[in-house]
Structure 1
Amino acid sequence: MVNETRQIFLPFLLVGALVLQSCSTTPSVAGSATPTNEATSLSVSPMLDGQLTTVYEAIANADYSHASQLINSLSEQYQNNLQSANDNLALINAKASLFLATDAPEQALNVLDTASTQQLLTEASADVATQTLALTADTWQAQSQPLKGARIRLQLADLWQENKQAYLHNHEKIWQLASALADTPATIVSDPTLQQWVELAKLTKRTDIAFSDQIAKINQWQLTHPTHPAALIPVSDIGKVQAAGRQIPRHIAVLLPFDGKYKRWSNAVRDGVMQAWYKDPSRTEISFYSADPSVDFLATYDEAIADGADLIIGPLLKNQLTQLQSLEHLPVPTIALNDTNAEHLPEGLLEFSLATEDEIDSLITKAVDEDYRRVIILSEDLGWAKDATAYFTGQWEGLGNTVLSSQTFETTRGQSPVVEKLLNIDQSHRRAREIAQLTNTRFTSEPRRRQDVDLVVVFSKSAPAQPLRPLFAYHKAGNLPMYATSNVYKGYPDPSANQDLNGMIITDAPRVIERKKDIPKKYKKSPLIRLFAFGEDAYILSQRGLLLAYLEDSEYPGSTGDLRVLNQHVHRQLDYAEFKRGIPVKIEANTKTE
């Protein structure tokens, strides 16, 4: 039993219409077909076939310049003198393939969406024509028009019934498009077969029900639609969902330092775990163990496993996590509530933490969406703030953006001269003094701040952050956007204390920003609400962590953020909020701020 559990948790280590539906008619394509990933077809003339093979080899090697030169050369060589429909269409397909490879789907449509191309489709043999159809479907998909792509893919499914490799490849493509349609209104999709594809995709994306109920609904769909293509040949994602469902733990052990100085932290995490557990109808057996920092953590870990636990939540402390990392593999899946940033992790270990890096990544995403490029950074003189500044700078400059200046302050009183330096106001004062000395005159000057700043980024605790917005306003920079991590906010509404933060944008856990009614009373006005949310998501990961590891780009809207699993680490996309009347008000992720 123990070995089986370890093996199935291994993904935490390993995981990381016709051509265009705008046409009113659909030319038919008869005969057999070759897989869409083949460059050319035997139906193309031998000389052109060889030349196009070279083009596709260049595209496969990402040598797009050479591929473009070859295609231009072929166009000049033949100058519309290709005699067969197959040859003409094959050259069009090569051009479209290059455009798609270079992320230029609009240009691909320019060669696919023409009257002459559609006429060639009615004349060409199936192997060449189906390649054109597949390219067109991919083009619509690249342009975020999955419905048009799906209609073409359904036609290809009929044409490739006798070609297993091409059919299965197309089968997965239909699934990708159906998944992209899962968030669209049901009335948009009229084809019954596609409707059922989309219905199944919606089921795999559901996060509003327990994972066990989600699995049951997917199984019921298969029983209800036994002859549907997705039931006859389940797509790989469905197999992964069902495999994850079969491995929901039966006994969870939570190992936390309940005694000593970490007691309040551990109790908050425990309360969050239990709140999530009560909402889960599966009622998995759950046990709690005190992982005293003075006691060998591995002894407590082994005790929990001996008692029958097949999944562990913990440890919370970094030094205890280091003990786990000394093992080559873990006997049961383990969700550590910390992160060491180690390059190599044991098999079966998933690291989940409230890392500041996740908040910074979320801030960067917001800043890029707002088209900000040049920032200044103001940070408190603390170790975590310095680390945050270094991380932000590396990530920001890695995107080709600029950190114009970075300054630290030690006390609130020391903020003003630091802000003046950030804004180059100190240089303005110095120039005024130099002019006064040179001219031997006394005059009053109005200092001018720098004008090349797009954004101010703040890394500070709550109290020192309070004067910053008024201070920037005093220095004629109150119009500059200001972003900060959750450290500037205690985690609960306090309008009178936070009035000076008005206009500042922060990133924080959804549980903190949204303030849902099910927050226990003792956490409604406590900064421990973030650890409470941490516990909620730890339990969710015990149920869905394997699924998130299996499915690329999948995420779960958790209490601490949208959760994704990549390379045995949980990453969080946090909420955004802007202070208004002293209260952080949620900003939708895709909404630009004024």
Structure 2
Amino acid sequence: MRGNLPDRWLRGLSLLVVSAGLGLSGCSTTPGQTGLEGSSLTESSRQSNSVLMQQIRGELDDGEFGNAALQLQLLHERVLTPQEQVEFLLLSAQLHLGSNEPEIAGEYLSQLSQRMDYATPEQELRASLLKARWYESNGEYLAAARERDFLSGALNPEQREQNHEQIWQDLMAMPEVELLEWAEKTPATQFGDWLRLAAISRNSRLTLDEHLAAVTTWREQNPAHPAAKQLPGGLALLADLAANRPHSVALLLPLSGPLEKTGGAIRDGFMAAYYESLDKGYAIPQVHLYDSQKYGDIDVAYAQAQLDGAQWVIGPINKMQVQALQQRETLPLPTLALNYGDRAEAETTPANLYQYGLAAEDEAVQIAEKAWTDGLRRALVMVPKGNWGERIYAAFEQRWLELGGEIGEQRFYPNRQDYNPEIKALLNVDDSQKRYQTMRRLLRQSTEFEPRRRQDVDWVFMVALPQQARQIKPTLAFNFAGDLPVYATSHVYSGEPNPTKDRDLNGVQFCDVPWLLESSELYRTVEKVMPNGQGGYARLYAMGVDAFRLLPRLKQLEVFPHSQMFGSTGALALDHERRIHRRTECTQFRSGRPQRLARR
């Protein structure tokens, strides 16, 4: 919490304090020097400063940022020794990192780097930890992990354990290819070995058995490494997960009716992963396949699955059926549903129900976080009319505002052939033309005029299918917004490279499943086996692959809240309601094709 100060007051006070802080050298003193009012810096004043600093530090640790900001202002008005100035800068940086103001925190850290000659060893250590946090707040995960690895030897055992887990979380935010590239640049070092272990876990092509084998080999090669002594991110559970995986599962999918193609794609992806493991000689479960369309009562399907010896149910897909399941107190068998029920419809869900799907809301949250990390602050939003668009917008809006972003305007557009009226209104081009017409009428003479778009926004969040996006993106440029970055959900990409049609989408950034962006051997096999390829159902094939691989890993995700499984649909994590969330890979259209974005 932020104490009793409104956010507006806190931000204003933050700016006041940082302005004063940047001029700190003008009022610095050393022990025994004369202060600003000409009074000597006495022992009692030093004790008073120390008490105030301890109080501020406690408030920051408790999240009382409003009170801490007021106390810091009082501290800044006092006479401070060089060492106390270091403490003031440390506390100020901690305040603004905690208040999600990394830009201001960076100014304090920059000042701090110039005063480290006066810092105690304890202050040097805190400065390094704050610097790592600042890197993380800016999405510079490699720099953060390197900083944390460098300082780890100076930490006490409890701090070291927390720091090692944070190193792991930082590395897990980086793509596998970059981890491998940096590992090659840092051979035979502790940090290089961190990178190699992280690359193993980030490899979305590995089965559970392959992951276990690779980690075991790494551990044998690096027995003295801190991560070998205590495996991070739930890796220590891999052997137990492999030994206790289900030996019989029921796959409950719609294999007839309106969702037949959806169910068939998930089934084929699931079985592709099944046969891949079988061909490699790994343990596989017995699979019982049921057409959910043939069961009017899902309890009958559960009864049949139990009769057949199934230990788990994977499915159903239908949202209404999943919603009905989450309203029960318990289920006959533990279940990995392949869709999500509405949170608002159930206060609690059965302890043995897990929900996994390709939720567009996860993508909206990820886009908000990426845009913020990229330094963007004020958005225009275009989403389609209807419940689906509203759900995506709600998820985006909540996360964007939490981060501190602003929304200049949002438009819920209808499906039409001409999006120019909507976009002109969104960009206020109409207002520009009206002002010109008014001026021309008042002056009663012709004047030079060039329409302008609004200048109070710095990016566009677009939710659109390919055929819509191919019209919207050029129309933005036509209305003088060609310089605005455009970010989109994965729906902007059909899943099949089409440079001719997608050239109009050049520059659009979006995040999509690794299955489409990292061509794997399994992807190529499925593409070859399907008569017409995977087409627009490719993401559902990926979902089937991950349903197979995810089931034995659910315990790991549940026991270790920050652990992830890196699969064909993205980095998968489990929340406290046992709902799977995804983080996907980010890319950008260049020459009409998706191309991986460079990471910092």
TM-score over 0.5 for the alignment? yes
In structure 1, C-alpha distance between the alignment counterparts of 2:386 and 2:250, rounded to whole Å: 36
TM-score for both structures, normalised by structure 1: 0.70
Quick check: 1:484 aligned with 2:488?
yes
How many residues matched?
Answer: 512
Counterpart in 2 of 1:289? 290
Deviations 1:91-115 (A, max 9, x none): 9998898578545795897699548
In structure 2, C-alpha distance between the alignment counterparts of 1:74 and 1:499, rounded to whole Å: 61
Counterpart in 2 of 1:375? 379
Shift of 1:265: 0.8
In structure 2, C-alpha distance between the alignment counterparts of 1:431 and 1:137, rounded to whole Å: 54
> Does structure 2 retain, via aligned residues, the 8 Å contact 1:272–1:531?
yes
In structure 2, the CA distance between the partners of 1:211 and 1:261, relative to structure 1 (3 Å rule), is same
In structure 2, C-alpha distance between the alignment counterparts of 1:407 and 1:155, rounded to whole Å: 53
Deviations 1:457-497 (A, max 9, x none): 33333333332233333333333333333333332223333
Counterpart in 1 of 2:326? 325
Counterpart in 1 of 2:305? 304
RMSD of the TM alignment (CA)?
4.4
Larger displacement relative to structure 2 (223-232 or 421-430): 223-232
Computing the radius of gyration from Cα coordinates, the structure with the larger value is 1
Question: Which of 534, 538, 561 is matched with 1:529 structurally?
Answer: 538
Letter in 1 for 2:183: P
Shift of 1:252: 2.1
1:466 alignment partner, SS class: helix
> Does structure 1 retain, via aligned residues, the 8 Å contact 2:234–2:563?
no
Deviations 1:71-95 (A, max 9, x none): 889997xx79xxxxxxx9xx99988
In structure 2, C-alpha distance between the alignment counterparts of 1:228 and 1:485, rounded to whole Å: 40
Question: Which of 266, 269, 272 is matched with 2:269 structurally?
Answer: 272
Letter in 1 for 2:381: I
TM-score for both structures, normalised by structure 2: 0.70
Structure 1: gaps of 5 or more residues: 1-45, 81-87, 119-130, 157-165
In structure 2, C-alpha distance between the alignment counterparts of 1:389 and 1:505, rounded to whole Å: 17
Letter in 1 for 2:366: S
In structure 2, the CA distance between the partners of 1:68 and 1:225, relative to structure 1 (3 Å rule), is same
Quick check: 1:572 aligned with 2:569?
no
In structure 2, the CA distance between the partners of 1:306 and 1:136, relative to structure 1 (3 Å rule), is farther
Counterpart in 2 of 1:256? 253
Letter in 2 for 1:262: L
> Does structure 2 retain, via aligned residues, the 8 Å contact 1:56–1:67?
no
Counterpart in 2 of 1:495? 499
Question: Which of 558, 572, 575 is matched with 1:549 structurally?
Answer: 558
In structure 2, the CA distance between the partners of 1:224 and 1:445, relative to structure 1 (3 Å rule), is closer
Shift of 1:269: 0.6
> Does structure 2 retain, via aligned residues, the 8 Å contact 1:329–1:348?
yes
| Superposed counterparts of 1:147-158, under 5 Å | 153-154=152-153
2:581 alignment partner, SS class: strand
2:252 alignment partner, SS class: strand
In structure 2, the CA distance between the partners of 1:66 and 1:111, relative to structure 1 (3 Å rule), is farther
Larger displacement relative to structure 2 (242-251 or 299-308): 242-251
2:258 alignment partner, SS class: helix
Quick check: 1:399 aligned with 2:403?
yes
Q: Counting helix residues as a fraction of each chain, which structure ranks higher? A: 2
1:498 alignment partner, SS class: helix
Indicate the structure whose relative CO is greater, using CA pairs within 8 Å and at least 6 residues apart: 1
| Superposed counterparts of 1:104-183, under 5 Å | 106=109, 114=117, 117=120, 138=129, 142=133, 144=143, 153-154=152-153, 167=157, 170=160, 173=163, 183=179
Question: Which of 340, 356, 363 is matched with 2:360 structurally?
Answer: 356
> Does structure 1 retain, via aligned residues, the 8 Å contact 2:247–2:286?
yes
> Does structure 1 retain, via aligned residues, the 8 Å contact 2:376–2:459?
yes
In structure 1, C-alpha distance between the alignment counterparts of 2:510 and 2:588, rounded to whole Å: 6
In structure 2, C-alpha distance between the alignment counterparts of 1:52 and 1:370, rounded to whole Å: 34
1:286 alignment partner, SS class: strand
1:261 alignment partner, SS class: coil
Structure 2: gaps of 5 or more residues: 1-46, 98-104, 136-142, 173-178
Quick check: 1:518 aligned with 2:525?
yes
Larger displacement relative to structure 2 (135-144 or 565-574): 135-144
In structure 1, C-alpha distance between the alignment counterparts of 2:72 and 2:325, rounded to whole Å: 53
In structure 2, C-alpha distance between the alignment counterparts of 1:419 and 1:534, rounded to whole Å: 35
Shift of 1:532: 1.2
> Does structure 2 retain, via aligned residues, the 8 Å contact 1:153–1:170?
yes
Shift of 1:350: 1.7
1:260 alignment partner, SS class: coil
